[in-house]
Amino acid sequence: MEHTLSLFVRSIFVDNMIFASFLGMCSYLAVSKNVKTSLGLGIAVTFVLLVTVPVDYLLQTKVLAKDGIFGQDLTYLSFILFIAVIAGIVQLVEMVVERFSPSLYGALGIFLPLIAVNCAIMGASLFMQQRINMDPATSSQAIGGLGDAFVYALSSGIGWILAIVGLAAIREKMAYTDVPRPLRGLGITFITVGLMAMAFMCFSGLSL
Amino acid sequence: MSQLFSKANRQVFATPLGLNHPVLVQVLGICSALAVTAKLEPAIVMGLSVTIITSFSNVAISLLRKTIPMRIRIIVQLVVVAALVTIVSLVLKAFAYDVSVQLSVYIGLIITNCILMGRLEAFAMMNGPWESFLDGIGNGIGYAYILVIIGGVRELFGAGTLLDHQIIPTSLYDAGYVNNGMMTMPAMAMILLGCVIWAQRALTKDEQK
């Protein structure tokens, strides 16, 4: 329980997807122009994470690992298998969003199918794969079971939402400021993200 | 031979290096550009790997483009890229183990690098293999040199070294110079990239939105 809580807090603040490992930057920069759309994208990303990471965890431990059903080490197939799972699930999410929230579907536009190539999703699966071998007793990053994989996916998603909504709010205000011409748009956004990352660095000593 | 290097083909190679730069202008492939640049060596290896993977996946998709059904093209492209990335990752593990440990998951993340998908969708699906190859090389090099600039600056000011050779003389340290530890942090990578974009836009006097 203690480990789970620690993993949860750590993944949101210390190992934040955006500020510590730069995952999902493309859609992060492109969709963070207003708070509402960015919240929608954040929720979509979290949902996809919640499905893909546990599925990939099961694949990794039950199929690809040495003691899996094939009885041999197939981890070299993990890239292809993970990306296929992600692409399939994104297709599913797209259909669900289109059915239940056409307005969100319209607002996300091209970025919904692009979640498939969002590094946050693939990155979470790859980090999960790395962390399986860590010892839960010594490292608060370790992922020891399906429950941990689930918690990791949820908290990474929350961290991502936190980052994108924060940036969107700042950018909404920044529309009224006088930024030097060549710095406008992308340049100033990067510098803002850098400053936000610095603020998040103060969590780095956090442990439970 | 002269046909292979015609004006149009040279243009295909050169535009991603300047006017249509994948990182600075189209804002693609940012994630890995920032994550692997704390030192120069992984930045160079990453740039090379991406160049190789972009060019060869461009060629593969360009050869297959007439046989791929439109509806499932994304999955086909992803599988081709994933196969190439697996090869590169295994080669790195075999011949440059230290660097592959430093790059950790970011080699795998080349699969989801938007430069690749962008080039496959926008170029390789409609052009022949040779043009696609040049386009891939051009985009890869465009990406690589940004990595090298940021990696170089971060390593020089963060650790005082370049490729692990001490550059800043000890006399300077004796005079009170201190390495800027901030440079090795992720936050500085973003600010540096912001400044590179600023410089590039100020120089090219691109019409701004």
**Taking CB atoms and an 8 Å limit, are B209 and A185 in contact across chains?**
yes
pTM of this structure = 0.81
Instruction: Answer yes or no: is B14 within a domain.
Output: no
User: What are the start-end ranges of the H helices in chain B?
Assistant: 7-14, 30-35, 40-64, 73-95, 97-103, 105-108, 114-119, 129-159, 170-174, 186-204
**Taking CB atoms and an 8 Å limit, are A29 and B89 in contact across chains?**
no
> pLDDT (tens digit, 9 = 90+) per residue, A147-184?
888 888 999 999 999 989 999 999 888 888 888 877 77
Instruction: Report the distance separating Cα A180 and Cα A183, nearest Å.
Output: 5
Which residues share a beta bridge with A135? Answer: none
Q: What is the mean pLDDT of residues A89-105?
A: 81
Residue B86 has pLDDT above 50, yes or no: yes
pLDDT at B4: 64
Residue A134 distance to chain B (closest CA, Å) = 15
Contact B179, B157 (CB under 8 A): yes
Residue B18 has pLDDT above 70, yes or no: no
Tokens of B121: 């969708």
Instruction: Answer yes or no: is B123 within a domain.
Output: yes
Instruction: Answer yes or no: is B16 within a domain.
Output: no
pLDDT at A110: 65
Tokens of A88: 């399939």
> pLDDT (tens digit, 9 = 90+) per residue, A24-50?
787 788 778 888 888 888 888 888 888
Q: What is the mean pLDDT of residues B9-17?
A: 71
Interface A-B: count of C-beta contacts within 8 A: 131
Angle between helices A35-58 and A119-131 (to 10 degrees): 40
Identify the residue with better confidence: B140 or B7: B140
Residue B166 φ then ψ, to 5°: -65, 125
A35 lies within 8 A of chain B by CB = no
Domain with B140 in it: 21-208
Helix, strand or coil, per DSSP, at residue B5: coil
pLDDT at A208: 63
Residue B113 distance to chain A (closest CA, Å) = 7
Chain B residues in contact with A186 by the CB 8 A cut-off are 27, 194, 197
Residue A132 distance to chain B (closest CA, Å) = 14
Residue A134 has pLDDT above 80, yes or no: no
Position A199, amino acid: A
Reported confidence tier of residue A101, pLDDT bands at 50, 70, 90: confident
pLDDT at A132: 81
Instruction: Answer yes or no: is B8 within a domain.
Output: no
Which residues share a beta bridge with B162? Answer: B165
Chain B residues in contact with A182 by the CB 8 A cut-off are 198, 201-202, 206, 208
Instruction: Answer yes or no: is B15 within a domain.
Output: no
> pLDDT (tens digit, 9 = 90+) per residue, B101-137?
877 778 888 887 777 877 887 777 788 888 888 888 8
Q: How many domains does chain B have?
A: 1
**Ranges A17-26, A143-152, B159-168: which has the least confidence:** B159-168
Which residues share a beta bridge with B161? Answer: B166
Q: What is the mean pLDDT of residues B28-50?
A: 81
End-to-end CA distance of chain B: 42
Helix, strand or coil, per DSSP, at residue B148: helix
**Taking CB atoms and an 8 Å limit, are A201 and B185 in contact across chains?**
yes
- What value does the mean pLDDT of chain B take? 79
State which of A152-161, B156-165, B200-209 shows the largest mean pLDDT. A152-161
Residue B72 has pLDDT above 80, yes or no: no
Residue B87 has pLDDT above 60, yes or no: yes
Residue A80 distance to chain B (closest CA, Å) = 5
**Taking CB atoms and an 8 Å limit, are A119 and B198 in contact across chains?**
no
Q: In chain A, how long is the greatest CA-to-CA distance? A: 63
pLDDT at B90: 87
Chain B residues in contact with A22 by the CB 8 A cut-off are 30-32, 34-35, 186, 189
Instruction: Answer yes or no: is B7 within a domain.
Output: no
**Taking CB atoms and an 8 Å limit, are A117 and B112 in contact across chains?**
yes
Residue where the block lists tokens 């969708």: B121
Identify the residue with better confidence: B139 or B173: B139
Residue where the block lists tokens 């993340």: B109
**Taking CB atoms and an 8 Å limit, are B186 and A80 in contact across chains?**
no
Which residues share a beta bridge with B165? Answer: B162
Instruction: Answer yes or no: is B5 within a domain.
Output: no
Tell me the Ramachandran region of residue A21: left when phi exceeds 0, alpha when psi lies from -120 to 50, beta otherwise.
Answer: alpha
> pLDDT (tens digit, 9 = 90+) per residue, B52-71?
888 888 888 888 888 888 77
- What value does the mean pLDDT of chain A take? 82
Helix, strand or coil, per DSSP, at residue B99: helix
pLDDT at B209: 43
pLDDT at B208: 46
pLDDT at A158: 92
Instruction: Answer yes or no: is B110 within a domain.
Output: yes
